[in-house]
Amino acid sequence: MRYVSVRAVLLPALTVAVLTPPAWADRPVPAPGPTPASPVPAVARTWPVGVHPLVLRGWEPPATVYGPGHRGVDLSAPAGAPVRAVAAGRVTFAGRVAGRGVVSVDLSGTDLRTTYEPVTPSVRKGDEVGPGDVVGTVERTGSHCGTATCVHWGLRRGGTYLNPLSLLPPWLLHRGPPRLLPVLEVPLPS
Protein backbone atom coordinates (compact mmCIF):
# COMPACT_ATOMS: atom_id res chain seq x y z
CA MET A 1 0.00 0.00 0.00
CA ARG A 2 2.88 2.31 0.84
CA TYR A 3 4.37 1.67 -2.68
CA VAL A 4 1.14 2.86 -4.29
CA SER A 5 1.08 6.17 -2.38
CA VAL A 6 4.67 7.02 -3.37
CA ARG A 7 3.83 6.15 -6.98
CA ALA A 8 0.74 8.34 -6.83
CA VAL A 9 2.92 11.32 -5.82
CA LEU A 10 5.91 10.70 -8.09
CA LEU A 11 4.01 10.02 -11.32
CA PRO A 12 2.25 13.44 -11.46
CA ALA A 13 5.47 15.20 -10.40
CA LEU A 14 7.49 13.51 -13.16
CA THR A 15 4.77 14.23 -15.72
CA VAL A 16 4.81 17.94 -14.87
CA ALA A 17 8.63 18.02 -14.95
CA VAL A 18 8.78 16.33 -18.36
CA LEU A 19 6.01 18.36 -19.98
CA THR A 20 6.99 21.77 -18.59
CA PRO A 21 9.52 23.50 -20.86
CA PRO A 22 12.73 24.45 -19.11
CA ALA A 23 13.58 28.09 -18.49
CA TRP A 24 16.13 28.06 -21.34
CA ALA A 25 13.59 26.91 -23.95
CA ASP A 26 13.10 29.06 -27.03
CA ARG A 27 11.11 32.17 -26.35
CA PRO A 28 9.67 34.53 -28.93
CA VAL A 29 12.52 36.70 -30.10
CA PRO A 30 11.69 40.38 -30.60
CA ALA A 31 12.55 41.84 -33.97
CA PRO A 32 15.82 43.67 -33.96
CA GLY A 33 15.26 47.35 -34.49
CA PRO A 34 17.53 50.24 -35.24
CA THR A 35 19.95 51.02 -32.46
CA PRO A 36 19.36 54.56 -31.24
CA ALA A 37 23.09 54.97 -30.56
CA SER A 38 23.98 54.26 -34.18
CA PRO A 39 21.76 56.13 -36.64
CA VAL A 40 21.94 55.39 -40.34
CA PRO A 41 24.23 57.87 -42.06
CA ALA A 42 22.77 59.55 -45.15
CA VAL A 43 25.55 58.30 -47.45
CA ALA A 44 23.49 57.65 -50.60
CA ARG A 45 24.18 59.91 -53.57
CA THR A 46 21.56 58.52 -55.95
CA TRP A 47 18.40 56.43 -56.04
CA PRO A 48 18.86 52.77 -57.04
CA VAL A 49 16.51 53.25 -60.01
CA GLY A 50 15.34 56.33 -61.84
CA VAL A 51 15.56 59.92 -60.62
CA HIS A 52 12.89 59.83 -57.91
CA PRO A 53 10.97 56.54 -58.32
CA LEU A 54 7.53 55.86 -56.97
CA VAL A 55 7.66 53.87 -53.71
CA LEU A 56 5.14 51.08 -54.30
CA ARG A 57 5.48 49.65 -50.79
CA GLY A 58 7.31 51.20 -47.88
CA TRP A 59 9.33 49.78 -45.04
CA GLU A 60 7.21 47.99 -42.45
CA PRO A 61 9.39 46.57 -39.67
CA PRO A 62 8.12 43.24 -38.29
CA ALA A 63 7.12 42.89 -34.65
CA THR A 64 9.25 39.72 -34.32
CA VAL A 65 12.22 38.29 -36.20
CA TYR A 66 10.04 35.94 -38.25
CA GLY A 67 6.87 38.03 -38.13
CA PRO A 68 5.08 39.63 -41.05
CA GLY A 69 6.37 42.91 -42.37
CA HIS A 70 8.29 44.40 -45.27
CA ARG A 71 12.04 44.50 -44.75
CA GLY A 72 12.82 47.09 -47.41
CA VAL A 73 11.07 49.29 -49.96
CA ASP A 74 9.72 48.44 -53.41
CA LEU A 75 10.58 51.02 -56.06
CA SER A 76 8.74 51.19 -59.37
CA ALA A 77 11.06 50.44 -62.29
CA PRO A 78 10.54 48.99 -65.76
CA ALA A 79 12.14 45.66 -66.69
CA GLY A 80 15.60 46.22 -68.14
CA ALA A 81 16.14 49.53 -66.31
CA PRO A 82 19.62 50.01 -64.84
CA VAL A 83 20.01 49.46 -61.11
CA ARG A 84 22.68 51.65 -59.53
CA ALA A 85 24.71 51.49 -56.33
CA VAL A 86 23.44 54.22 -54.01
CA ALA A 87 26.86 54.74 -52.42
CA ALA A 88 30.43 53.50 -52.65
CA GLY A 89 31.11 49.97 -51.50
CA ARG A 90 32.20 46.42 -52.27
CA VAL A 91 29.93 43.80 -53.84
CA THR A 92 29.54 40.93 -51.36
CA PHE A 93 27.05 38.89 -53.40
CA ALA A 94 25.89 38.87 -57.01
CA GLY A 95 23.86 35.85 -58.03
CA ARG A 96 20.57 34.03 -57.70
CA VAL A 97 18.58 33.34 -54.55
CA ALA A 98 15.29 31.43 -54.80
CA GLY A 99 15.19 32.02 -58.57
CA ARG A 100 15.77 35.80 -58.37
CA GLY A 101 18.86 37.84 -59.07
CA VAL A 102 20.27 39.60 -56.02
CA VAL A 103 23.10 42.08 -55.61
CA SER A 104 24.43 42.97 -52.12
CA VAL A 105 26.89 45.77 -51.46
CA ASP A 106 28.73 46.53 -48.19
CA LEU A 107 28.82 50.32 -47.99
CA SER A 108 32.30 51.81 -47.49
CA GLY A 109 33.08 53.35 -44.11
CA THR A 110 29.94 51.88 -42.50
CA ASP A 111 28.65 48.64 -41.04
CA LEU A 112 25.74 48.64 -43.51
CA ARG A 113 24.80 46.32 -46.37
CA THR A 114 22.29 47.22 -49.05
CA THR A 115 20.58 44.75 -51.40
CA TYR A 116 18.73 45.01 -54.68
CA GLU A 117 16.41 42.38 -56.21
CA PRO A 118 15.24 41.06 -58.68
CA VAL A 119 18.30 42.18 -60.60
CA THR A 120 20.35 40.60 -63.36
CA PRO A 121 23.82 41.37 -61.98
CA SER A 122 26.46 43.10 -64.10
CA VAL A 123 29.01 42.98 -61.25
CA ARG A 124 30.77 40.17 -59.42
CA LYS A 125 31.58 39.48 -55.80
CA GLY A 126 34.55 41.59 -54.74
CA ASP A 127 33.97 44.39 -57.27
CA GLU A 128 34.32 47.95 -55.94
CA VAL A 129 31.42 50.23 -56.92
CA GLY A 130 30.91 53.95 -56.64
CA PRO A 131 27.71 55.95 -56.21
CA GLY A 132 25.69 55.69 -59.40
CA ASP A 133 27.62 52.73 -60.83
CA VAL A 134 25.35 50.22 -62.57
CA VAL A 135 25.24 46.92 -60.65
CA GLY A 136 22.63 45.24 -62.87
CA THR A 137 19.28 45.58 -64.61
CA VAL A 138 15.73 45.03 -63.37
CA GLU A 139 14.62 41.46 -64.14
CA ARG A 140 11.36 40.68 -65.83
CA THR A 141 10.24 38.03 -63.34
CA GLY A 142 6.96 37.30 -61.66
CA SER A 143 6.87 40.42 -59.55
CA HIS A 144 5.85 40.56 -55.93
CA CYS A 145 4.61 44.06 -56.81
CA GLY A 146 1.57 42.74 -58.67
CA THR A 147 1.31 43.81 -62.28
CA ALA A 148 4.09 46.42 -61.95
CA THR A 149 7.76 45.58 -62.09
CA CYS A 150 9.82 46.85 -59.20
CA VAL A 151 13.10 46.64 -57.35
CA HIS A 152 13.12 45.60 -53.71
CA TRP A 153 15.78 47.72 -51.99
CA GLY A 154 16.88 46.53 -48.57
CA LEU A 155 19.28 47.68 -45.86
CA ARG A 156 20.82 45.76 -42.97
CA ARG A 157 23.19 46.39 -40.11
CA GLY A 158 24.29 42.92 -39.03
CA GLY A 159 21.03 40.99 -38.57
CA THR A 160 18.93 44.13 -38.15
CA TYR A 161 16.79 45.35 -41.03
CA LEU A 162 16.64 49.12 -41.44
CA ASN A 163 14.72 51.53 -43.64
CA PRO A 164 16.81 52.02 -46.80
CA LEU A 165 15.22 55.43 -47.40
CA SER A 166 17.18 56.62 -44.35
CA LEU A 167 20.35 56.36 -46.49
CA LEU A 168 19.08 59.21 -48.68
CA PRO A 169 19.98 62.76 -47.63
CA PRO A 170 17.04 65.18 -47.42
CA TRP A 171 18.03 66.99 -50.62
CA LEU A 172 17.74 63.72 -52.55
CA LEU A 173 14.79 62.23 -50.69
CA HIS A 174 12.50 65.23 -51.02
CA ARG A 175 13.66 66.59 -54.33
CA GLY A 176 10.85 66.66 -56.83
CA PRO A 177 11.05 66.84 -60.60
CA PRO A 178 12.58 69.99 -62.06
CA ARG A 179 10.11 72.78 -62.75
CA LEU A 180 10.45 75.61 -65.21
CA LEU A 181 9.65 79.00 -63.74
CA PRO A 182 8.10 81.77 -65.81
CA VAL A 183 10.50 84.26 -67.30
CA LEU A 184 9.73 87.76 -66.15
CA GLU A 185 10.11 90.51 -68.66
CA VAL A 186 12.02 93.37 -67.16
CA PRO A 187 12.00 96.59 -69.15
CA LEU A 188 15.46 97.78 -69.98
CA PRO A 189 16.29 101.39 -69.26
CA SER A 190 16.30 103.51 -72.37
- Per residue in 69-124, pLDDT (tens digit) is 678 899 999 999 999 999 999 999 999 998 899 999 999 999 999 999 999 999 99
Q: In angstroms, how far is CA 170 from the centroid of its own chain?
A: 19
Q: Residue 179 has what pLDDT? A: 64
- Nearest to residue 132, comparing CAs of 44, 4, 39, 57? 44
Q: Residue 22 has what pLDDT? A: 44
The whole-number average pLDDT for the span 10-31 is 45
pLDDT at 184 over 80: no
- Nearest to residue 163, comparing CAs of 48, 73, 46, 56? 73
Q: Residue 42 has what pLDDT? A: 87
The model's pTM is: 0.70
pLDDT at 135 over 80: yes
Q: Report which of residues 39 and 108 the model is more confident about.
A: 108
Q: Report which of residues 24 and 100 the model is more confident about.
A: 100
pLDDT at 34 over 90: no
